[in-house]
Structure 1
Amino acid sequence: MNPVERKCVLSVPNDLVQDILSRLGVKDLLRLRCINKEWRTFIDDTNFIRKHYDAQHSICKGKGNGNMPHFVYNGGDSETFCLVYVQQGEMITLNLNADLERDSKDVVVDDRDRDRDRYDIISDGCVNGIICLNWKHRDTELNNFLSLWNPATREFKAIAYPNMPPLIQRSHFEVYGFGFDPLSNDFKILGLYSITEFSCYYEMYSLQNNCWKRLREPKADIGGIPMPTTDGYLNGVYYWTAEISGGHLVIVSLNFSTEVFEVSDPPQDAVSLHASQIYPSQTTITLYKECLALAISHTVQEEALLYSIDIWVVTRFDDCGVPLSWQHLFTVEPVHANSGLQLAASRLDGHLLISSLFPSEDCASDQDSECWLYNPSTTKYTKLETDFCTWFRYLESLFPLSKRLDQV
């Protein structure tokens, strides 16, 4: 940059520069970091990184089609990681397997101990463009580990499991929540060690401190919280549904800043619907548009295998993110499904990704699935040619996984 160009750039107000740069993609910004130390410092600033992510989210929402890509993990024989767009009812899939192999090659070494082909990789969440993955070795649990991955910046960080207590195998450790602490700008992972069916304890990992610490359990007598399969994180808090003694449905939340569990009541009509089901209903905490939502799948006509889903959203939170009031939004148009419905995810425009399990024709004991895109405004279903295991909203970001982006 010559002196004239430099003078012109410096004469532009800082707020305007931030606004212009926040509209650029991550790849463009990474190139601009190479101009000089001032640009690098500017783009690496924590406030700008958050401003850029918020701006990209607004741009995506402003397109009017809710076309934020979903990060998808397909289990089984077709274990793939993808970004899935839905445009005019058609699926556009970008396979991320080659990207993951490229970015993790320095950590997952192809040797006798860490042959990447011997790992089952599970997605445990996606927040602010960072994907949390759980690497489970098929032969030895000692090689299990977690990782955080930013596909846009190609940063990959391996994370060891927390130190396990005596007599507990690593196979009993699972990730139950992944989120971002906005007060400390820190990504955190909630893990759980199961000791017995009725005994467990929680560990919290901090990316900023690069260590684990034990958390106090929820005060209520909770039988267990489900592992995440879709978005349960919102504004620094993670949410689950759970049951306390007597089968009573409750909402469990964990504030990533205070690192304290809270238990609250869902709407009463949701409690009644949940309790009325002869067979266990699919009860899911997820996001609807930009609100925290509770979805309960239930039978409409059991003999006809007719199912529906009711959706509630939170209308008011307390200062710690605990839901205080709910509103019932709508009931999904009933549809035939041999083994019930499950809400997989929702797009920014409110369209729902809904899956149905049904017995495989080749083997009645196996379970396949099919997926629909549901439009609440028209109550129309569009069948999608895809299979899935977990869905999380993904939007590329500059959020760093190391101090590399902070250095000048």
Structure 2
Amino acid sequence: MATLSVPHDIVSEILHRLGVNDLLRFKCVSKAWCSLIDDPDFAKLHLSHSLKAGTNLSLVPRGLDGGLLSVELHSLKRVRRLKHPLESYHDKFADLLGSCNGLLALMSRRDEISLWNPSTRKSRMFPAAAVEISRGRLRRGFVVYGFGYDRISDDYKLLQMAQYYFSNDDSIKSEVKVYSSSSNCWRRIQDFNFYIKYKLVHGVLANNALHFVVSRMRRSEPLVAAFDLGTEEFRLLELPDCLGTGFSLNVRALGGYLSLTVSYYLGVHVWDVHDTEIWVMKEYGVRESWTKLISIKQSEFILGFNYVLPLAFSNNADKVLLYVDRNKFMWYDLRSRRVENERDLGGVPRFQGVEMLVVSLVAL
């Protein structure tokens, strides 16, 4: 029987619609298939299809013990523990610095950083940049990170921002460095002279920029700062013009949009949440494009929540998956304005922080 020859572009069109596990097995079919699947351009095509179709998505929560889990997004089932490259016999801790194109940026207690693809199990290891701030009488401080891909330079970048301050006034010293995967080195860039509000929250990637909640003074109203991965410059984004007073902010990426969670408080404590609004910026950088997507009153929906963060849209975009406090997920129906299917991850210990991950073939 004569061998049937299928054109290369047809083979590529078929294969890029498959899952990563299948593709890794199919590398054994022939040298041509192996070469195709290992091609960086094929990895980009496969990633683009997954992102457009909303497939191959999972959640990666970090447990309070520092271990990482993987949870299928739409079913919230198939929970499994991830064995990451920073894990040792004595210590499985990994801080989640960010997620982008199927890669996770992780950090160990020993300041080792790994850019890791859990699907292909390939990683790159390097040390965090040394902080060179002359502290003097500056006793308090912290370091936050942000991870993303710059489409213009075709480069993955990791942002490191160190900030130290006095405990009794508004004086600060900051230091900003950027790691480039293409050059495999750190370099110092301009300083950042706004106060970073949350020392345990890393940058949120949306629209080719990393976003942080900041303020002009430590106790002033919160703002949103964006670090452009292309120009490597900071800018402030304008907030919706109809916000009230006495609120806190959180930023997330939601369906390709920058998302803003506004939590209003009745009292001075974080557990006195009264109302939560979730906004999306439909046209990036345009203040008038902020659109209120969800408004939740604690008395009507969720008893005793401290915070709510949006994670993803459903397949037909009529629901939003919400992450509530430290161990609960729920779907919010945008049509009925009701919460559905509140659930925690049965048998899974409490966790702190969660990232979205798309399964991909991307390599550094």
TM-score range (shorter-chain normalised) is 0.7 to 0.9
Aligned equivalents of 2:152 and 2:160: distance in 1? 21
Match of 1:234 among 199, 206, 211: 206
Structure 1 letter corresponding to 2:11: V
> Aligned residue pairs: how many?
343
Distance 1:53 1:230, change over 3 A: farther
Partner deviation per Cα, 1:236-295 (whole Å, 9 max, x = no partner): 21112221247243221112122111112111123xx2xx22xxx441111233321111
Aligned position for 1:399? 362
Q: Give, in whole Å, the separation in 2 of the partners of 1:251 and 1:231.
A: 11
TM-score (norm 1): 0.73
Separation in structure 2 between the aligned mates of residue 330 and residue 301 of structure 1, nearest angstrom:
22
Instruction: Tell whether the 8 Å contact from 1:130 to 1:149 is kept in structure 2 after alignment.
Output: yes
What code does the residue aligned with 2:182 have? Q
Alpha-carbon distance, 1:151 to partner: 0.9
Q: Closer, same or farther in 2 for the Cα pair 1:337/1:201, shift >3 Å?
A: farther
Aligned to 1:123: 96
Structure 1 match to 2:169: none
The alignment's TM-score, normalised by the length of structure 2, stands at 0.81
* Equivalent runs, 1:176-195 vs 2, <5 Å: 176-195=145-164
Q: Is the 8 A contact 2:145 2:159 kept in 1?
A: yes
Provide the rounded CA distance (Å) in 2 between the counterparts of 1:159 and 1:52.
27
1:48-127 map, 5 Å: 48-60=42-54, 68-76=57-65, 79-85=66-72, 91-96=77-82, 99-100=83-84, 104=85, 116-118=89-91, 120-127=93-100
1:371 maps to 328
| Aligned-pair CA distance for 1:57 | 2.4
Aligned to 1:148: 115
CA contact (8 A) 1:74 1:80 kept: yes
Structure 2 equivalent of residue 43 of structure 1: 37
Amino acid aligned to 2:58: P
CA RMSD of superposed structures (Å): 3.3
- Answer with 371-380 or 186-195: which moved more: 371-380
- Alpha-carbon deviations, 1:210-261, whole Å to 9, x = none? 100112134xx51125357588212421112221247243221112122111
Aligned residue type for 1:159: F
After alignment, is 324-333 or 151-160 more displaced? 324-333
| Paired position in structure 1 for 2:263 | 297
Looking at structure 2, the residues matched to 324 and 41 of structure 1 have their Cα atoms a distance apart, in angstroms, of 48
Aligned counterpart in structure 2 of residue 262 of structure 1, from 228, 235, 238: 235
Q: Structure 1: how far apart are the matches of 2:248 and 2:351?
A: 16
Give 1:143-292 correspondences, 5 Å limit.
144-165=111-132, 174-197=143-166, 198-218=172-192, 221-224=193-196, 226=198, 229=201, 232-245=204-217, 247-270=220-243, 273=244, 276-277=245-246, 281-292=247-258
Deviation per CA, 1:5-46: give whole Å up to 9, x if none: 5xx13xx262x3332111112223233444555444433333
Cα 1:117/1:3, change in 2 over 3 Å: farther
Equivalence for 1:64 = none
Unmatched runs of 5 consecutive residues or more in structure 2: 167-171
Aligned partner of 1:396: which letter?
V
Amino acid at match of 1:400: A
CA distance in 1, matches of 2:320, 2:108: 32
Asked whether the 8 Å contact 1:123–1:133 carries over to 2, the reply is yes
- State how far apart, in whole Å, the 2-side matches of 1:237 and 1:323 are: 16
Structure 1 residue 156: Cα displacement: 2.0
1:405 aligns to what? none
| Structure 1 counterpart of 2:98, one-letter code | G
Asked whether the 8 Å contact 2:101–2:360 carries over to 1, the reply is yes
Q: CA deviation at 1:345?
A: 2.7
Code of the residue aligned with 1:389 in structure 2: it is Q
Query: Taking structure 1 as reference, are residues 23 and 43 closer, same or farther at Cα in structure 2, changes over 3 Å only?
Result: same
The unaligned stretches of length 5 or more in structure 1 are: 62-66, 109-114, 138-143, 357-368, 402-408
Structure 2 vs 1, CA of residues 173 and 354 (structure 1 numbering), >3 Å: closer, same or farther?
closer
Counterpart of 1:343, as a letter, is L
Residue 278 of structure 2: which of 308, 311, 321 is its match?
A: 311
Q: Which amino acid aligns with 1:236?
A: N
Bigger helix fraction = 1
How far apart are 1:87 and its partner, in Å?
5.1
